[in-house]
Amino acid sequence: MRIDGRDFLHILKFGDTGALVALLQTGLNRAMGAALVPDGIFGPATDRAVRAFQRAQGLTVDGLAGPRTQAALRPWYRGYVTHTVVRGDTLWRVAGRYDTTLSALETANPGLDPFDLRIGQRLTVPLPFAVVPTDIPWSSALAEYAAQGLTARYPALRRESLGRSVLGRELTALTLGEGARRVLFTAAHHANEWITAPLLMKYIEALLDAYYAGEPLGSFAAEEVWTGSRITLVPTVNPDGVDLVTDALTAAERQGAEAIARRWPSIPFPAGWKANIEGVDLNLQYPALWETARQIKFAQGFTSPAPRDYVGAAPLAAAESRALADFTRRLDPALILAYHTQGEVIYWKFLDREPEGSRELGELMSRLSGYALEDVPYASAFAGYKDWFIDVFDRPGYTVEAGRGDNPLPLSQFDEIWRDNVDLLSAAALG
């Protein structure tokens, strides 16, 4: 099996743990109603479910979730199947066979004539569940499956690549909407703040669902957001780091980070890891008084690769930050949001720079979310993505610190974070 052009290196087995096991459990629940708790622990119940799935699929029944088993589960990871029309098929029969709706079929197959199905015609068939799960840890594998599923179910959703991470994972951007106002939302700059990635992915799916159903999204009309803006989202800026924190790396991929972590025994590993896989803090990489950030962090002792707060050898030396900066220049957005955790605050200025309209929009987003609108503390006021955007573009940019507590925030906070931010996101899109 290949995900994002890379070999799927994991063979999951009894006793394994982590985000990929939780994804496996979710796929089994969707495929066969396995009723597994997606706790990321490959125990007896998961073993039985894997064997039952293998038996039903005509695979070797060995309890190992290797390439063939993962390939068979792919439709339930992505949320759609491809159906080839045979004699006697009607759109209604296809919908009934897969327990989907006519409207979902028509959305996934633009230009389809339901009264003129042709034998051999291939249809994209959405399956009857949301693509984006919000009850399991994030991973680059899950990000790839969700992007594949959403772009298949909603062809109006456009996908492009910013580049690649240090370990070769794709940095994916997704764009929706038809308006003239371009905005850019980003998340998971920091590895242990990965809960912000499913937040943006759920927003994509919820806005698409609401737009095609002619329904509101939160307090906003989805059609107004769709026609008034063009939203580009980069949900996972730091995929390698996220996979490290959620236990979705191979042993070989973890080695470098483990060596770095041993030099910082006071920082919990991997829970305290914010940096990219090379130990560079991606949100301290931008040429917005980077030298001042370097001075501050060096004074704190972060003078070499570390789980957090190392600014790197030079501005934009990290592959991920450089890719995002280059992409932002090409996109030339009217506004950016950078999602982090935690604190329930919105940071909106770079030093005394106050782009036109940024205070008013910040106050609106504060009212909608309940988050405080604040200035950044001095020690964190330099070299961030938001700082660089304001400095270079002189347009509104915001860092949104979602949730409260110790990172990584538990998924039990997700629903509250969603409620707090769904209207904030739409307000930022419309300006």
For residues 303 and 406, membership in a common domain is answered with yes
Asked if pLDDT for residue 403 goes beyond 50, the answer is yes
Statement: residue 186 has pLDDT above 80:
yes
Extract long-range pairs of 262-271: CB within 8 Å, 24+ residues apart: 263/304, 263/306, 264/306, 264/307, 267/306, 267/307, 267/308, 269/307, 270/191, 270/192, 270/244, 270/245, 271/192, 271/245, 271/407, 271/408
Residue 21 pLDDT greater than 70, yes or no: yes
pLDDT value for 7: 43
Residue 9 pLDDT class (50, 70, 90 cuts): low
pLDDT in tens, 260-275: 999 999 999 999 999 9
Q: Considering its fold, how many domains does the chain have in total?
A: 3
Residue 88 confidence (pLDDT):
94
- Give tens-digit pLDDT for 274-321: 999 999 999 999 999 999 999 999 999 999 999 999 999 999 999 999
Sequence-separated contacts (24+) of 70-75 with Cβ below 8 Å: 70/1, 70/8, 70/24, 71/1, 73/24, 73/27, 73/28, 73/31, 74/1, 74/145, 75/31, 75/127
Has residue 112 got a pLDDT over 60? yes
Task: Please indicate, yes or no, whether residues 247 and 336 belong to a single structural domain of this protein.
Answer: yes
**Is the dihedral angle over the CA atoms 399, 404, 409, 410 positive or is it negative?**
negative
Nearest-angstrom CA–CA distance, 137 and 121: 37
Tell me: do 116 and 147 sit in the same domain: no
Residues 86 and 163 in one domain: no
Give the SS3 label for residue 336: strand
Residues 179 and 328 in one domain: yes
- Does 218 lie in the same domain as 273? yes
What pLDDT is stored for residue 5 in this prediction?
41
Q: Is the pLDDT of residue 3 over 80?
A: no
209-218 tens-digit pLDDT: 999 999 999 9
Q: Which two tokens stand for residue 1?
A: 């099996």
Cβ–Cβ < 8 Å for 274, 191? yes
- 20: Cβ–Cβ under 8 A, 6 or more apart, which residues? 10, 12, 139, 141, 247, 248
Q: Report d(CA 211, CA 183) in Å as an integer.
A: 18
One domain, residues 100 and 11:
no
Q: Residue-wise over 156-166: b if at least 16 C-beta within 10 A, else e? A: ebeeeebebbb
Q: Check pLDDT > 80 for residue 169.
A: yes
Domain check: are 7 and 102 in the same one? no
Q: Does residue 401 have an active-site annotation? A: yes
What CATH number corresponds to the domain at position 104?
Answer: 3.10.350.10
DSSP structure class, residue 234: E
What is the enclosing helix (H) or strand (E) of 401? strand 397-402
Label residue 8 by pLDDT band (50, 70, 90): low
Asked whether residue 372 falls in the same domain as residue 421, the answer is: yes
Mean pLDDT along residues 146-154: 98
Residues 29-50 have pLDDT tens digits of: 999 999 999 999 999 999 999 9
Of all helices (H) and strands (E), which one includes residue 247?
none
Cβ neighbours for 268, distance < 8 A, ≥ 6 positions apart: none
Reported pTM: 0.96
Is the predicted pLDDT of residue 100 greater than 60, yes or no?
Answer: yes
Q: Tell me the two tokens of residue 150.
A: 């959403």
Average pLDDT value for residue range 210-230 = 98
Q: Span 177-194, mean pLDDT?
A: 98
Looking at the fold, whether 98 and 244 belong to one and the same domain comes out as: no
- Give yes or no for residue 6 having a pLDDT over 50: no
Confidence of residue 380 (pLDDT cuts 50, 70, 90): confident
C-alpha torsion angle, residues 279, 191, 341, 234 (rounded to 10): 110
Exposed e or buried b for every residue in 22-32, given b needs 16+ CB within 10 A? bbbbbbbbbbe
Catalytic residue among 144, 170, 193, 401: 401
What does the pLDDT read at residue 2?
46
Mean predicted confidence (pLDDT) in 372-397: 95
Whether residue 146 is found in the same domain as residue 211: yes
Distance CA 413, CA 405 (A): 10
Residue at a domain's end among 62, 77, 92: 77
What average pLDDT does range 385-413 have in this prediction?
Answer: 98
70 and 84 in a common domain: no
pLDDT digits over 61-78, tens only? 999 999 999 999 999 999
Q: What is the pLDDT of residue 379?
A: 84
The arithmetic mean of pLDDT across residues 107-127, rounded, is 96
**Which domain does 94 fall in, by range?**
80-126
CATH number at residue 383: 3.40.630.10
- Distance set, CA 214 to CA 175, 208, 211, 282 (Å): 19, 10, 5, 39
